[in-house]
Structure 1
Amino acid sequence: MQWAWSLGFLLALGSLGAGKDQKGLRKKGKGGWRDAQADQQEREAFLLEHLQEALELSPFQEPESSPGAPEREGAQGAEEEEEPTGTPPPSLPPTPTPEDAISYVLGRLSGLDSGLHQLHVRLHTLDARVTELSRGLQLLRKEARETREVLEALEEAQKQGQRDRGRLEGCLKGLRLGHKCFLLFRDFQAQIAAHAQCGARGGSLAMPADRAQMEGLTRYLKAALAPYNWPVWLGIHDRRAEGLYLFENSQRVSFFAWHRAPLPDSPDAPSPQGPGHPALGPDQPNGREQENCVAQASDDGSWWDHDCERRFYYVCEFPQ
């Protein structure tokens, strides 16, 4: 049966090809008759070759004759016996239509749109939260700035109170002389550190402006430190230029009380057997660039130049 169907199919193709050839022959002239016959022969050979392949025959083999109806009936019986008696084969899934594909795409787009909407909602929530946090941060900065200003005001008030207390203490415990008060501090400090301590108390290192203040300060130190002789820092130095002595307020010193060594035959000269005394030192100032700060001797009130890093007592003056 299979070769019969194949033969019929090829004969139909041949008839269609012959019809086309006849139409082509009508259009062609007498000169194209031979070409049309050659094409017809090639087409017939092509159909024959495909017919042989379909029937699985050799070029010179004819199909085997059928053994008869009984054999075919036996074959059909065998085929019926070979068929399985189980469940029928599963049916193939239906082929998706274009409408199904469009519905799938629309569903995915709807899901994406829903996801984007949720993201927009979350972004709006985060933006509101960030705005709230920014506002809170601004308030915290404002409060911190106000707190810092309050602390600075408190520190300044504390310093002012310490200065007022120092001035009051200097005038109550120290020496009142003119419009100034002098107070001795028995604390070993370098000259710059002593000046800072006096400033924190509301004053400055002692700056005797004239001989009267100098003599009153000498009596005060001698009474406070007798019977010893202690050098005490004054607010006088020549750090800016060698030999140019200035007060701590940058005013130039108008008088000097430098120590001078007594002559050997003077009444102040010591006996050969007596112990040495600082008053017998060389004339002052003698330190040049190495000694730029001035200290006053507590026994006679004379000035000595010293290294500014040496640690001595110091005298502060306060406005009265």
Structure 2
Amino acid sequence: MELLRPRLLLCVLAFLTQGAAEPPTSKPKKAANARKDLVSPKMIAELQGRLDSLAQEVAVLKEQQALQTVCLKGAKVHLKCFLVVAQALAFHAAGEDCIARGGTLAAPRSEAENEALREYAARSLGAAAELWLGLHDLGSEGAWVDASGAPAAFTHWESEITAQPDGGAAENCAAMAGAAHGRWFDRRCRDALPYACQFAIV
């Protein structure tokens, strides 16, 4: 009985070592090929479409979150909000910065919007501050347009003392002057001024 145990143990060990020494069969390859056949180009295209859709949804959510943050800092008026930036830049650089933030240079479209922007700028920069607006007549002298190229829907030029715009071809960009109660002046586009960006609230 005592001799039977070692023999039995040797047999089990021999069996195990023989099984371990055998090369793997080709069954996994067949299984891999079967899996490969299950994933068709149509399925890959469908998954890619879903991933693209999810990426777009995430981008929209990020944009909405950023807009909410901007509007909390700025001033809301109707379906837009304004954000005043204290850093003084030339007109084109200011416009590029607004675009990078997801907006455009502010172009008030009514007396109410202009007054809301003037009050907000006074709180942010001081009552006498000047700031760039998103209006210019670079394309055609006297034809003032906004960032999209559309004709200005509203203007608020200072006309009682200096009959603005009065700079001719030398002054092609619009600025709001706090000291003139939010009236507009034409300025040289290369002048450095603070500016206001606007963002559409969806």
Report the TM range for the smaller structure's normalisation: 0.5 to 0.7
Bigger RCO of structures 1 and 2 (CA < 8 A, at least 6 apart) = 2
Specify whether residues 192 and 260 from structure 1 end up closer, same or farther in structure 2 by C-alpha distance, changes over 3 A only: same
The yes-or-no answer on 1:174 pairing with 2:74 is yes
AA partner of residue 260 (structure 1) = S
Which of the residues 307, 312, 315 maps onto 2:188? 307
Check conservation: 1:164, 1:202, Cα contact below 8 A: no
Number of aligned pairs? Answer: 145
The yes-or-no answer on 1:235 pairing with 2:134 is yes
Query: Take 2:93 and 2:63, find their aligned partners in 1: how far apart are those partners?
Result: 16
Question: How far apart are residue 161 of structure 1 and its match?
Answer: 8.5
Question: How far apart are residue 255 of structure 1 and its match?
Answer: 2.5
Which of the residues 100, 106, 111 maps onto 1:206? 106
Q: Runs of 5+ in structure 2 lacking a partner?
A: 1-55
**Runs of 4+ more than 6 Å apart:** 159-162
| TM-score, length basis structure 2 | 0.65
Query: Take 2:194 and 2:101, find their aligned partners in 1: how far apart are those partners?
Result: 16
Which of the residues 227, 248, 269 maps onto 2:147? 248
1:114-125 to structure 2, matched below 5 A, reads none
The yes-or-no answer on 1:216 pairing with 2:124 is no
AA partner of residue 285 (structure 1) = P
Query: Take 2:151 and 2:159, find their aligned partners in 1: how far apart are those partners?
Result: 22
1:1-320 to structure 2, matched below 5 A, reads 166-227=66-127, 229-262=128-161, 282-299=162-179, 300-320=181-201
Q: Percent identity?
A: 34
Query: Take 2:125 and 2:113, find their aligned partners in 1: how far apart are those partners?
Result: 18
Check conservation: 1:163, 1:201, Cα contact below 8 A: no
Question: How far apart are residue 175 of structure 1 and its match?
Answer: 0.3
Query: Take 2:102 and 2:65, find their aligned partners in 1: how far apart are those partners?
Result: 8
Larger radius of gyration: 1
Q: Runs of 5+ in structure 1 lacking a partner?
A: 1-155, 263-281
In structure 2, the residue corresponding to 1:259 is in which secondary structure? coil
Query: Take 1:166 and 1:191, find their aligned partners in 2: how far apart are those partners?
Result: 24
